[in-house]
Amino acid sequence: MKSEPSVYGIDHLQRDKRTSWGGVRNYQVRNMFRDDFAQGDLAFFYHSSCDEPGIVGTMKIAGKAYPDPTQFDPESEYFDPRSKRDSPSWLAVDVRFERRFRQPLPLDVLRSHPGLEGLLILRRGNRLSVTPVTGAEAELILSLAAEKGVP
């Protein structure tokens, strides 16, 4: 799951412990939230549009997806006037901070590591702020982080 650290990074999540991952206005991601996300799932926190893009830590999905409240809030930048209360267009999920990698895994490391070439987030022109990771890829990423000194 990616976010710009200048807007909301892993520092914020570490402070908040738990947050609502909302404001996503993409139907593919909405469907992933709805169909694929379950309580207890592991997620990686990816920093984008910053000095060092890459995976910076892990989170746990804290529960089922629910209607994203920001779509109904006229004050929110994510307000969607077309969305109806009785059939919300957009979903959010709650995530809980798990841990921060002592050393972030930068984009170029991810790109060049055998076994991770299938990661959707590495695809050129990828439009999704949330992308799936296979079990094997997750194990690899965790072991790479461990090599870098994370307990």
Partner DNA sequence: GCCAACGTTGGC
Distance CA 113, CA 148 (A): 14
Q: Phi/psi at 97 (nearest 5 deg)? A: -60, 135
Which listed residue (6, 74, 127, 149) binds DNA by CB under 7 A? 127
Nearer to DNA, 28 or 39 (CB): 28
Q: Decide: is 134 part of the binding site for DNA (CB under 7 A).
A: no
* CA-only gyration radius of the chain, Å: 16
Distance CA 38, CA 131 (A): 15
Minimum separation from the CB atom of position 57 to DNA (A):
16
Which listed residue (77, 124, 135, 151) binds DNA by CB under 7 A? 124
Any idea what DSSP says for residue 90? -
Q: Phi/psi at 114 (nearest 5 deg)? A: -60, 135
What residues numbered 28-47 form the site for DNA, per CB under 7 A? 28
Residues that bind DNA (CB under 7 A): 2, 4, 25-28, 48-50, 53, 107-108, 123-127, 129
